[in-house]
Every structure is written in structure tokens, then in C-alpha cells.
Amino acid sequence: MFEAVQKNKRRTYFIATLCFVFLGVVVYFIAEFSGLGNIAIPIAVLVAICSTFFSYFFSDKIVLASSHAKPADEETEKYLHNIVEGLCVASGLPKPRIYVVDDPAPNAFATGRNPQKAVVCVTTGLLQRLDYYQLEGVLAHELAHIKNYDILLSTVVTVMVGIVIILSDIFTRFMFFGGGRSRRSNDDNGGGIQIILFIIGLIFIILAPLFGQLLKMALSRNREYLADSTAIEFTRNPEGLATALEKISQDPMPVEHANKATANMYICNPLRNKKGESVDLFSTHPPIDKRIEAIRNIR
């Protein structure tokens, strides 16, 4: 477990650097195509630095705000607070802040940049639909993400990838309506190199959202298995988490304020179509049946 945590910490630094470079390249091409010329590089570096800083310190607030989450009152949600406090004693973690989303679909996620700044968020549907041991299993799973230092990586990547997707969308719309490269198009010295760079940059920006989704998928799948096994260490009750996953995955309702940017943070994919099926082709979560099988095989 210690090795897994250390690996997650190293991976966080690597992925944060990768996101920094990736965002910088996207901004550079956008600035270059917009005719900003020599100041394209400084603009790209500045935007990448500001975005990384903003993501590190404020990504949890962005996720909570986009999810319409509210702090869980200790009096009205005493049941929830008591379970979290008991799990914190078992896990050795400081008690995280607890938030609730008013949504009938059962689900939960954790966010924050470290155990001292962590947040656990659950939907009202989760509190209403799960029994004590199932709720304990879900909360243990989210605390496991905190224990394993998954939360910083997933939250920062969610925000950074979201920024890249927004910039890519703005740029493609800008290009579609005939904007950009006005200065370069009148530059007689541009030549074939400029055309090649233009094509490479255009392909890079168009594929940026797909790359971001693949990155989130690669990061999320393995950490879900690790969090499941860590949660069982906290509760010593595999069946609680297994039946909770069954109940959550069988619910046909999507989480209203969840989206493709934040879906990877939830314990189960929060997106559903009208038939109640998962709508994400590149799912950030491993199949529920395989997770449940792995949990029930823990000895």
C-alpha cells in the first residue's frame, strides 16, 4: 500500500507537468494562429502557469461549485458525520469536510489536494437509498482515494483537461467562422513550413479533447480497484461495498450536475442515457461487475 501511495505521488507530479506542457502547446498554437507572432510563446507559458496554479489551489472549489454541493450540517446530517468519523479513526486520516448534493441519483466523490484539505461529497440519493453498511463502504472508498493521494491527481486533471477542451472548442469555432491567421496569411515569408505547422497545430487542437479523455480514463481505472481494496481494509466488510456498487450502478438516473469533465471523480459513472445505461464510450470506470468480483475475492 505504501508503494502504491508513493507511486501515486510521483504520478501526480508527472501528470501535472504533462498537463502544463500540453496546455502550453494548445495555447501557443491558438496564439500563433491568431496572428500574435513573437508573443505567442510568452502568452502560452503565462496561461499554462496560471492554469496550473489555479488548478492546484482552487480545483476542489471549482468541482464543488459545478456540482452544486453544500456543506453537510452536523446536526441534520449527524448520521453521515458519525460514519465518516468512525472511518477516520480506522484509517488514521483527519476528518475531511463533508458536502451533500441535492440529487436523487445515488453517488459520491472525493476532492481536494491533500488529506488536510480533502472533501467527501455524497448525493441525497445515496443517503436515502443505502443502508448503514453500504454507506460505510462507499464513504470508505472515498476516504481510500484520500489515503492513496488520488484526489489531487484526479481533481487537477479534471480542471486542466476541462480548460483544454474549452480552449479547443473556442478555437475550432473561431476557425470555422473564418478567423485567425490574418497576419500570417499576408506574410510572404511564411512558406511551406508555416502551412505544415498550421496543419499540425490544427490536428493537435482538434484531438486535444480526445487525448484528455483518454488520460482521465487511464488514470481512473486502476485507482478504482486500489480504492476498493483499501476501503475493505478500513471496514473489514467487503459485502457492504459490493452491494452498494450494485445498487448505485442499477439506478437509472444520472447525477444532474455531473458532466464528462467530472465523471471520473465519482465512485460509479454518473452519466446515463434515457434507458439508464452508461453513455460514455471511453468510460473512466472499470466495469462494475469486475469490481464487485474483485471485492468479493478479497480474503
Sign of CA dihedral 33, 34, 40, 46: negative
Q: Which SS3 state, helix, strand or coil, does residue 179 take?
A: coil
What is the rounded distance in angstroms from the CA atom of residue 217 to the CA atom of residue 59? 19
Give 154's Cβ-side CA count (13 Å radius): 30
Helix axes 191-235, 2-33, angle to 10 degrees: 150
Catalytic residue, candidates 142, 239, 256, 277: 142
Matching residue, cell 478500513: 234
Helix, strand and coil percent figures for the chain, each rounded to 5: 65, 5, 25
Matching residue, cell 445498487: 247
Residue 267, CA distances (Å) to 20, 52, 178, 248 in order: 27, 25, 43, 9
**Is 142 among the catalytic positions?**
yes
Supply the residues annotated as catalytic: 142
